[in-house]
Amino acid sequence: MKIGVLALQGSVSEHRLCMELLNMDVVDVREPSDMNGLKGLIMPGGESTTLRKLLVNSGLWDAISGSDIPIMATCAGAILMGESDDVTFEKMDFRINRNYYGRQKDSFEKDIRIGNNQEFRGIFIRAPAIVSVGDGTEAIAWDGEMVVGCTMDRHMALTFHPELNDDLTFHQMWIEEL
């Protein structure tokens, strides 16, 4: 199965490695034609304002807006999937607050809760927060009462960085639905 990793900024090689470990064919996506034949697209973290500009300049903003390709979006990627005060793709039904936890120095690591009362080491880097979840969206990861991961259709949005530890749970969960 061919999976694209949006390769404009952020942790591209880490997501690529996760997908290779799951035996996927991985393609770097830098322009619209790179999306041909993909079963899914990963939108890595980075900085959402910069990412938005790079997407528009490369023509990928329109290509992604007009496509129903399943997307796994982490951190800045997740910001672009939900609704916020800035322009986003709004492909998923949740509201997100961009720099909820503060600045870069307020980044942190902690165990979060996933289905079946399992834990997952969440790495939050200048993370956004999902502040409300609509009816069409299913929560899949929590920090206390707060939702830190959700799915809608075949999209997945996570406010942390699952590609930065050696646990492939979320990447696996996403490709199982493709």
Site map for ligand GLN, 7-46, x if CB under 6 A? Answer: --------------------------------------xx
Q: Which of 4, 82, 128, 162 binds ligand GLN (CB under 6 A)?
A: 128
Is 130 a residue that touches ligand GLN (CB under 6 A)?
Answer: no
* Contacts of ligand GLN in 69-98 (CB under 6 A): 75-76, 79, 98
DSSP letter assigned to residue 50: H
What is the distance between the alpha carbons of residues 39 and 1, in angstroms, rounded to a whole number? 7
Bridge partners, 110 (sequence order):
122
What is the distance between the alpha carbons of residues 60 and 55, in angstroms, rounded to a whole number? 5
Q: Is 171 a catalytic residue?
A: no
Q: Is 18 a catalytic residue?
A: no
Distances, alpha carbon 68 to alpha carbons 38, 39, 56, 112, in Å: 11, 10, 18, 30
What is the distance between the alpha carbons of residues 118 and 107, in angstroms, rounded to a whole number? 23
Q: Among 30-38, 121-129, 131-139, 166-174, which window interacts with ligand GLN (CB under 6 A)? A: 121-129
Q: Which residue is nearest to ligand GLN (CB)?
A: 45
